[in-house]
Amino acid sequence: MAKEVKTVDTSIGKEVMPQKRFKPLKIAIIFVIILLVAGGGAGLYVWQSNKFSSSFDTVSVQVESCLATALQASLLDIGIRGGKAEFASNALDLGTYKANPLYLNGRSLVPTPAEVNAELGKSIESMMSECIKQAPEGVTITPDPFDVQVTTAGDKTKATLLSPIAVKSSFFGKELKNLAAQLTFNPGSVLVPIDGIVSHVASSGGIVDVEALKRPGFEVSYEVKLDQNKIVFLVQDLSQSITGKRYAWVFFAEGGLPNN
């Protein structure tokens, strides 16, 4: 206890309440405690900030992976296969297509810009909505209206995903924008075996050799439509399956068929 000293107010002759004297050591101890509390709070704040930063980085990787998977699934959904989606510059390269007389489901295997733009745009939007649903607590993913720009030059078709995908963490408001993917595509996985089949039919004047239809990894059946001057091929890819459904490719070899 601090020593109590009584004083007297001579003006009125009454005793004044005791006053305490604090030793300098106690004052110093209190000051040190205040500093420690303040420093500990600052350290806790920094630790939390680092924790949130680490959490956001993890979320960013998860989101990028999900979007890349969605883009790949979208390409498979519209029949563009054999590619791998990777995050790179703000461009989604759909690959290079050779001019080819074959048709897929009644249309050219080389898609027009309008076809790719419409089909890929719808598929990407649908797939990416799943990524948005999977966002962890504290993180929001906001896609702008999807805008896929498709350009062609000669036998090359290239699509660019222009829409920015904003990923925002509610922890501290950091954003990642313009997430896009670059895709490399080798059309040979389907075009080479089928092109060989159709070339055989064309060179043989429409006479189909069953042995020529055998291609590793594919099941091929056909139907000759003499009235339409075409042969219809149904090709099943045994190595590719999405949601349990095996891809079936329909091709037409037209012209040069025998009349009898």
Residue ranges per structural domain of the chain: 46-98+109-185, 190-254
Highest mean pLDDT, choosing among 189-193, 249-253, 254-258: 249-253
- What digits encode the pLDDT tens for the residues 134-179? 555 545 555 555 555 555 555 444 555 555 544 443 333 333 333 3
Q: Each residue of 28-74: pLDDT tens digit? A: 666 545 544 444 333 332 333 333 333 333 444 455 556 556 655 55
CA angle 162/163/164 to nearest 5° reads 115
Q: Determine how many CB atoms are found less than 10 A away from the CB of residue 72.
A: 19
Q: DSSP readout, the chain?
A: -PPPB--EETTTTEEPPPB----HHHHHHHHHHHHHHHHHHHHHHHHHHHHHHHHHHHHHHHHHHHHHHHHHHHHHHTT--S-EEEE-SS-----B------EETTEESS--HHHHHHHHHHHHHHHHHHHHHTPPTTEEEEEPPP-EEEEEETTEEEEEE---EEEEETTT--EE----EEEE--THHHHHHHHHHHHHHHHTTTPPPGGGG-BTTEEEEEEEEGGGTEEEEEEEEEEEEETTEEEEEEEEEES-----
Location of structure tokens 């993917």: 181
Q: Would the pLDDT of 130 be above 60?
A: yes
Tokens 């510059």, residue located: 89
